Amino acid sequence: MPKWLNDAVFYEIYPQSFYDSNGDGIGDINGIIEKLDYVKGLGCNAIWLNPVYDSPFMDAGYDVRDYYRVAPRYGTNDDLVRLFEEAHRKDMKILLDLVPGHTSDTHPWFLTAKSAKVTEFSNRYIFTKSVWDAPPEYRMMCGICERDGNYMVNYFSSQPALNYGFSRITHPEWQLPTDHPDCLNTVEAIKDIMRFWLNKGADGFRVDMADSLVKNDDDKRATAKIWRGVREMLDAEYPEAAMVSEWCHPDRAITDAGFHMDFYLDHYGNGYSRLFRFGEWGDLAVFNPNGLGDLKGFAEEYLPAYNRTKDKGYISFMTNNHDMPRVTAYLDKQAIKLVNAFIFTMPGVPFLYYGDEIGMRYQADLVSKEGGFSRTGSRTPMQWNDGKNLGFSESNEPYLPVDTASDAPTVANQRDDPDSIYRVVTDLIALRHKYDDLHGNGELEFLYDNHSIPFAFRRGGLTMFFNPLGRDATLSTECDGDVVYKIGEATIENGKVSMKPQSFLMIANC
């Protein structure tokens, strides 16, 4: 287990929208290098970079055409190596996005596979034996290749699924077992890509749709087995490299598959979604001032998984990511401050999505860009200052518009505002680094009694109290501690915690 993860705080960068260094309207790697000090200044010591590989961008780069080459619009491989070096000089780590489940339908492997000629790549993807065979239980593209067969897709139609075989074989004519040499070669091909970038200085990978490899893999055991093999390679060859899965199933991802971290996704109704997004636009979310307020629904799901996985890896919370509406679409500013207090004091490895530190807004009415669809509104350019395109780009045609609101938050107008989300986020990250008890593997104990408000949890010598609701709340405790940090108005006196609406207290020695 790479030690650095225990005190890691990640910043997710969607490269096309972060900073355009050459005025062509699109963010780039040199732009990220220029802003590394900014990221470090937030307290983030690691970055997850969304895909930067060559791609036709039908899905924002999750449709890879060449895993070994940086997309020209972002720069060159040398620029990326320079980003690794500059980051390391500042004691920061960079995780690339690994997309193992599918490629672009313009990837040379696929162009070869879809031709009639039989080659070593004919089984790299999943083709039926004839175009007349298209079982409805699989998502197939039909009748569009020279080759006589239909192929399976993994996500959008432009993303054919790579072939790792089938766990339960229902159509033996075309479904290969996972130990077929051609399926094993797919695994080796992915390992080679990983080695290539790790050798160049990458610190690991965020793994896209990590659970999607083997098909008909109901309990995901065959998929997990592949990742355990990858983890063995990392342990042997790159023991400092880290992998975080997009899986949202800590037992499977961490315990079975060997990921160092697994992050929560907002699957409707799951524990994580209950925190911010539950109900009609979050009206039942824990942190909605008119919502449920108590942590029970979340804790019942999270705690058992946490207890089972805490010695093996980290469950990650994200403020948002590039796939979900920004939390500003659901919650008010004070609630968002409390959400951040929660995320940055919980165990695991937290992830901050670019722009969330300034409360960037979800842009609801944008026309879809590069396969974003409803996600496009969470992917707009970073807002740096009140300059042209809010400091994102000198171009007259940025690839996506910046927030046009007259009161659009920017780094410049939030940084020195004591009432800003920025202040709370940076304060909390600093506290997380300062106190070992707040690190990834520090202890956790929930202090909640059914549906009580405030709710609280203890992490070693620190106790966090939350009143997310729009009314006063009190709680009797056995202690009188020292206030380490507070949001809103709240006190502790003679064992009594009194909290005004939407407040947070961090208490030492309680």
Residues binding ligand GLC (CB under 6 A): 59, 62, 99, 155, 208-209, 246, 322-323
Nearer to Ca ion, 18 or 287 (CB): 18
Q: Are 175 and 182 in contact (CB under 8 A)?
A: no
Name which of 17 and 186 has its Cβ closer to Ca ion.
Answer: 17
Relative orientation angle of helices 181-199 and 221-237, to the nearest 10 degrees: 40
Nearest approach, Cβ of 50 to ligand GLC (angstroms)? 8
Q: How far apart are CA 509 and CA 190, in angstroms?
A: 49
Tokens of 117: 């000629």
- CA 256, CA 276: separation in Å to the nearest integer? 28
Judged by CB under 5 A, which of 20, 97, 203, 266 binds Ca ion?
Answer: 20
- Residue 100, preceding peptide bond in cis (omega within 30° of 0): no
Site size for Ca ion (CB under 5 A): 5
* Residue placing its CB nearer to Ca ion in the complex, 36 or 183: 36
Pick from 278, 290, 236, 235: nearest CA to 258 = 235
**Per-residue contact track with Ca ion, 22 to 61, x per CB under 5 A?**
x-x-x-x---------------------------------
Burial track 383-407 (b if 16+ CB lie within 10 A, e otherwise): bbeeeebbbbbeeeebbbbbbeeee
Residue (101 or 149) nearer to ligand GLC, CB: 101
Q: Which is nearer to ligand GLC, 250 or 442 (CB)?
A: 250
Nearer to Ca ion among residue 28 and residue 246 (C-beta): 28
Query: What is the chain's alpha carbon radius of gyration, rounded to the nearest angstrom?
Result: 23
208 binds, among ligand GLC, Ca ion, none (CB under 5 to 8 A by kind): ligand GLC
In the complex with ligand GLC, which residue's Cβ is closer, 155 or 353?
155
Q: Which residue is nearest to ligand GLC (CB)?
A: 62
Dihedral of CA atoms 332, 338, 341, 346 in degrees, nearest 10, equals -110
Tokens matching residue 31 = 């732009």
Closer to Ca ion by Cβ: residue 18 or 435: 18
Query: Which of 102/124 has CB closer to ligand GLC?
Result: 102
Place of tokens 């400091």: 391
Pick from ligand GLC, Ca ion, none: which does 220 bind, CB < 5 to 8 A by kind? none
Nearest distance, CB of residue 126 and ligand GLC, angstroms: 16
Beta-strand pair 151-152/140-141: antiparallel
Other CB atoms closer than 10 Å to residue 450's CB: what's the count?
A: 6
**What is d(CA 75, CA 23) in angstroms, rounded to the nearest whole number?**
13
Ranges assigned E (strand) in 39-139:
46-49, 53-54, 66-70, 93-98
* Residue 59 contacts which entry, ligand GLC, Ca ion, none (Cβ below 5-8 A, type-dependent): ligand GLC
Amino acid letter for position 363: Q
Q: Which of Ca ion, ligand GLC, none lies near 497, with the C-beta cut-off 5 to 8 A by kind?
A: none
| Strand runs labelled E in 252-301 | 261-263
Binding partner of residue 323 among Ca ion, ligand GLC, none, CB cut-off 5 to 8 Å per kind: ligand GLC
| Residue 22 binding result from Ca ion, ligand GLC, none, given CB thresholds of 5 to 8 Å by partner type | Ca ion
User: At its nearest, how many Å lie between ligand GLC and the CB of residue 474?
Assistant: 42
The candidate with the shortest Cα–Cα distance to 381, out of 344, 355, 357, 346, is 355
Taking the complex as a whole, the smallest distance from the CB of residue 69 to ligand GLC amounts, in Å, to: 18
The residue with its CB nearest to Ca ion is 28
* Least Cβ distance, residue 220 to ligand GLC (angstroms): 16
Residues that bind Ca ion (CB under 5 A): 20, 22, 24, 26, 28
